[in-house]
Amino acid sequence: MGMRRNFMDRLRPIRRVLRGIEAAQVRWFGRSLLSTLFRTPALVLETVGRKSGQRRQTALAYHRLRDGDLVIVGGAGGQRRVPDWVANVRADPDVHVVVDRVRRPMTAVELVGDGRATVWNEIRQVWPQIVTCQARAGRPVPVFRLAAVYANWLVGVRAGLRLRLRGTTDALDVSIARGGEFVRRKVEAGEPGFVQMWAGMGGMERFDRRRRWWATARASFSAAMR
């Protein structure tokens, strides 16, 4: 037997009509009448219908975390039925979000366990009414974290750069060791070109000074790449 509907569930047909109007307001003005009334920032979440395959737009309040990620919740004013956008995001977490009239791709991650508890405690301070909504709904309110796609891309780029730079330091170690030994042998053999180059570089004393500098700089460089 299904869960009995409450007042907010009965308002779903009306809210479905108003949803399009509110989404248009947020897209055009960066806010809606409701978000202005409740003094909450708003965004437009664009999902793909899990059954229809069509693009769906939903205006939602959001909270920005310290690291810049956004948090949205599926409270729906306390209706017992889980909002359609939640089911769509669970089916396809690659979404688009319009914030401050700028559309950007993002990835939605549903928070569970300790991760949800930590964020839930934070948003309760911002939206005290969310506790009432959850009690009215009689179900856990889904919590999603929205991360910009470019942020995930940058993580990969940085990791790749670290690997390449670590390879560069190893190559420099080999070059300094082998190159220095090669030049030293040529100088000792009296080859004019190498003798002249060695003198221009400052001789063995300066070469050793540069080698000691690299040994110190390499440690700092490697630490920065961890």
Predicted confidence (pLDDT) per residue in 155-174, tens digit = 555 555 555 555 556 655 66
Confidence of residue 72 (pLDDT cuts 50, 70, 90): very high
Distance (Å) of CA 99 to CA 88, 125, 153, 177, 183: 20, 22, 20, 55, 61
How much is the pTM? 0.60
Residue-level pLDDT at 1: 42
Domain 7-141: assigned CATH number? 2.30.110.10
Query: Can you tell me the mean pLDDT for 177-193?
Result: 70
**Stronger pLDDT, 115 or 159, i.e. the higher one:** 115
Quote the CA–CA distance of 109 and 118 in Å, as a whole number.
15
Q: Are 100 and 31 in contact (CB under 8 A)?
A: no
Report the first-to-last Cα separation within the chain, whole angstroms.
55
Residue 82: phi and psi, rounded to 5, are -65, 130
Asked if pLDDT for residue 30 goes beyond 70, the answer is: yes
Q: What pLDDT digit, counting tens, does each position of 80-97 carry? A: 778 888 999 999 999 999
Helix (H) or strand (E) holding 139: none
Edge to edge, the sheet with strand 42-48 lists 55-61, 42-48, 94-99, 102-110, 143-148, 70-73, 63-64
Distance (Å) of CA 219 to CA 199, 222, 224: 29, 5, 9
The DSSP bridge partners found for residue 45 are 58, 97
Q: Which of 100, 121, 119 has its CA nearest to residue 110?
A: 119
Asked if pLDDT for residue 218 goes beyond 80, the answer is: no
Residue-level pLDDT at 138: 76
Asked if pLDDT for residue 151 goes beyond 60, the answer is: no
Quote the CA–CA distance of 172 and 178 in Å, as a whole number.
10
